[in-house]
Structures are given as C-alpha cells and as structure tokens.
Amino acid sequence: MSMYKDIAWNGLWKQNSILAQLLGLCPLLAVSTNLVNAVSLGLATILVMMLANFAISALRALIPYEIRIPVFILIIAALVTVVDLAFNAFLHDMYLVLGIFIPLIVTNCIVLARVEAFAAKNGLRASTLDGLMMGVGFVWVIALLGAVRELIGQGTLFSGIEMIFPTLSGIQVLPESYPGFLVAILPPGAFFVLGLLVAGRNWLDARSNQRVREHRLHDQHPPATTVTA
Amino acid sequence: MNEPIEVGRRESSVLRISLRTAAIMLAFTLVFTAMMAGTYKATEPLVAASALAEKLRLIGEVLPPAQYDNDLMADAVILPPQAALGLDDETRLWRARRNGGPAALVFEAAARDGYSGRISLILAVGADGRLLAVRVTGHKETPGLGDYIDPKKDRNKTRPWITQFNNLGFDGVPRDKWRVKKDGGRFDQMSGATISARAVTNASGRALAWAVENRDKLFTLPPDSRFEGKETP
C-alpha cells in the first residue's frame, strides 16, 4: 500500500516530471499558451504514458538490456500511432481538438524516462499507476502554466473550450480593455512562468526541509541529511 | 595451442549473442509495425469518411448547400500545383451548379507569408466573379494575437474579421485596393497583428483574380479532368 502511495507522491510532487525532472519541455512550452490546450495535451499524455508503462512492463522479460532503448522507442512510437489513428476513427470530434497534440507526445521524453526508470523494472499494476500519476503530475503543472500564461497574455481563461464543449465559452477574467501581454504567450513567457513555478516548488521544499531540521534540533536529534530528489 | 580455440569460441559466442539480439530487435520491429499497419487498415474507411465529412462541412461554410443543386463531390476538376494559389500539391476544385448553369467554384489556396508558416484557405467564388466567402482551414498564427483570422478564435463573434470579404468582387473593391488598410487598401486589420491579416487578404485577392481569369475554362472542363492552365512548378 505504501508503495502505491510513494508512486503517487513521486508523480504528483517529489519527482514531478516538470518541476523536479524538467523533462518534456518541448511540448510543454509549445502548447501551454492557454488552459484548454494545456489540459488537452496533458490528458492525451496520461493515456499514452499509462499504455506505454503497461506495455513495457508486460514485455520487460523479453527485452534484452542492450537494445532496450530502441525497443522502448519503437513501442512508444507504435502506441502513439495507434492512439492517433484510433482517436481519428472512433472519436473524431475529440480528434479535431486533441489530434494535433497526440504526435507531439512522441517528443515528450518523460514517456521514455518513466519507461526506462520504472516500467522496465516493476510489475504491471505499479507501472500503470506510475504512468497515471506521472501523467497527472504533468497535467496539473501544464494546466497551471497554461492558465497563468493565458491570464497574463490575454486576460481570459478557458478560451477555446467551445471546441470541446460547444455549450461553454471562455471567461473574460480581466476587463475587456486589457491590452494583453504578448510576451506571456510567446516562448519567452513560457520560460519565465516555468522558472517561477520551479522556484516556487524549490521554495516550498526548502521551507519544509527547514521545518524538519528545526524540529529535529529541538528534539536533540542529530542533524538529518538533506533529501535530494 | 589451446588459446586460439578459446578465442575462437568467445568470438563465436559474441557473434551468437549479436545475432540473437538483432533477431529480437527484428521481431519487435515486425510485431509493432504489423500492429500499426493493422490499425491503419482497420481505421482507414472510418478516417476517410470523417475526412470527407470534414471537407463537406468546410465547403458548407463558404458555400451553403442551398446555393447549388448538383452533386458537388462528383463535379470536380484536378488542379496541378498553382503558383497563384500558393499551392505545392495537386488539389481538387469543385464546381457548384444550379439548374444546370454555373453557380460557384470552391477551391483551396494558401498564404505562404503568415507570421509563422503557411495559412491554408478555402474559397468559394461565384460565377459572377464575386468572392462568396473565404475561411481559414489551417494556420499556426500566434494564439490570441494573429489567430483572429479564424472566426472560431475571433473575439468579434457577431461580425468576425474574415467575413468582411463576403460577396465582394473587383467591381466593388478594385484589385489594387484589395489590401489591408495599413497597405493603403480597403480591409481592416487588428493593430499589432497585421501580418496574419495581410497574408490572408493578399492570398484571397490573388486567388480571386486567378478564379476570375480561369472561370470559363474551369466550368466547362469535363469532371475529373486536369486543369492545364499556366502550370508553374
């Protein structure tokens, strides 16, 4: 049970694919121009990560160590292609929205990283959960990044949601006269906001480490070694 | 005396391992390629049907079905790459007719000078030489800035930017005024995002001029024949 808890905590925070590992920046920075795009890519990424981790975990006994990386890439690329085609054929309306994001997932090295670091060494259930949790960790950070960039850049939130739910429409958060701040939407803005998010995470971690240390000093325990992610 | 034999054995086992590994890699490649091919084959009819429905929906946006009574999909001409339309690939041009007479031409075009890459357009040009409507079918313009050329992203929902071309011909807007206001023409652009608007405006002007020049020939060609205009590579 605690193993599954660890997997969840690693994915969501401690080893978060973006904030801690800084992996998958290419799709992250390209797509997080608004909240709806960001969440759409995130959901597609969760699906692919779960499938990839499941498939590699199931086949891990058959894959020779020396050629594991090409085999992993082959399997991930094949899965992404199959997901892309299946979406196009069976969920065409959703494909029109998510379609452009699915091929981008191949460029997300977090998929390969989790397959190599986790699924190749662990059982089916733990590996699938790891894919899910790493994916959820990716989604919440990319959603936050998308929301901040959209709000600063355009003054809106959820713009473009009518492409997924035709009855809904985006919210104008800042006054209509807000001129917009282009830098937030262009790539440099993505780096600025991402930098602030990473700094925020480090600050929170440093603060909680500090607390643990003070607590231990107070209890006359020997100083703890700092835990690195 | 023993040494060469042992070395030989080691070499042969290295060779065996290499071959085995290569065989495994080959097996994985075959299995997963077969999986992709199988999925492709299985989904092909559905994907083609969706693509056709999507195309009909796009055509419906520039040319309402009420304006013609022929089978538009069956009445097409093959267009080799046309420089005037900014196209590199062979495309199809559909001919709408009403009561047997020419009604409109529907075809694709592209602006190569968008802010980031090409902007794909679909246009309907009436038999009288007016641009009935134009829509953006694909673009990579900056979200929230240049993407107002796509009415789905335009904040002005009552009168999106792209609708200002509707029903205009060179009799109403002279060819040399078919530009954005910033370039001395007739069409609005949004301040700070002129490049996207200029690209679409100029491309639609070029496409309209091409259609007006070639419309008689385009309407009279037999279905599914190739249009042999001024072909440019």
pLDDT digits (tens, 9 = 90+) for A12-61: 888 888 888 888 888 888 888 889 888 888 888 999 999 999 999 999 99
Strand order in the sheet with B130-138: B76-79, B91-98, B101-114, B117-126, B130-138, B168-169
Mean pLDDT, range A78-95, rounded to an integer? 86
Asked if B25 lies within 8 A of A180 by C-beta distance, the reply is no
Closest Cβ opposite residue B145 in set A66, A159, A182: A182
Same domain membership, residue B40 and residue B98? no
| B143 part of contact set with chain A, CB < 8 Å | yes
B142: chain A residues, CB-CB within 8 Å:
182, 185-186
Instruction: Identify the domain containing residue B67 by its residue range.
Output: 63-220
Structural domain includes residue B233: no
Minimum CA–CA partner of B193 in chain A: A182
The CB density around residue B104, as the number of other CB atoms within 10 Å, is 26
Kindly tell me if the per-residue pLDDT of A108 is higher than 90: no
Asked if A180 lies within 8 A of B145 by C-beta distance, the reply is yes
Q: What was the pLDDT predicted at B132? A: 94
Same domain membership, residue B116 and residue B23? no
pTM assigned to the model: 0.70
Structural domain includes residue B230: no
Q: How many domains does one find in chain B?
A: 2
Q: Could you give phi then psi for residue B197, rounded to 5 degrees?
A: -65, -40
Minimum CA–CA partner of A37 in chain B: B143
Same domain membership, residue B164 and residue B138? yes
Minimal CA separation from B80 to chain A, in Å: 28
Kindly tell me if the per-residue pLDDT of A229 is higher than 50: no
Sign of the CA dihedral with A203 first, then A207, A209, and A213 last: positive
Q: Specify the higher pLDDT residue, B92 or A160.
A: B92
With contact defined as beta carbons under 8 Å apart, do B208 and B215 qualify? no
Structural domain includes residue B227: no
How many residues make up chain A in this entry? 229
Q: Give percent above pLDDT 90 in chain A.
A: 42
Same domain membership, residue B86 and residue B12? no
Structural domain includes residue B226: no
Q: What was the pLDDT predicted at A221? A: 54
* C-alpha span between A82 and A61 (Å, rounded): 23
A–B CB contacts, 8 A cutoff, strictly below: 70
Which of A92, A156, A174, A178 should we substitute to test contact with B (largest number of B Cβ atoms within 10 Å)?
Answer: A92
Minimal CA separation from B221 to chain A, in Å: 35
Q: What was the pLDDT predicted at A227? A: 52
What ipTM was predicted for this assembly? 0.77
pLDDT means per 10 residues in chain B (233 residues)? 59 87 94 96 91 84 90 89 89 91 93 90 93 89 82 83 93 92 91 89 95 92 83 47
Q: What was the pLDDT predicted at A222? A: 54
* C-alpha span between A112 and A24 (Å, rounded): 10
Same domain membership, residue B149 and residue B188? yes
Structural domain includes residue B20: yes
Domain boundary, last residue among B42, B61, B80:
B61
Q: What was the pLDDT predicted at A174? A: 84
- The full set of domain ranges for chain A reads 2-218
Q: What is the pLDDT of residues A163-218, one digit of tens each?
A: 777 777 788 888 878 887 888 888 899 999 999 999 999 999 999 888 888 887 77
Kindly tell me if the per-residue pLDDT of A142 is higher than 60: yes
Q: What was the pLDDT predicted at B145? A: 80
B160: chain A residues, CB-CB within 8 Å:
none
Q: What was the pLDDT predicted at B8? A: 63
Structural domain includes residue B164: yes
**Confidence band of A225 (pLDDT split at 50, 70, 90):** low
Asked if A92 lies within 8 A of B50 by C-beta distance, the reply is yes
**Confidence band of A1 (pLDDT split at 50, 70, 90):** low
Helix (H) or strand (E) holding B113: strand B101-114
* C-alpha span between B105 and B107 (Å, rounded): 6
Same domain membership, residue B84 and residue B189? yes
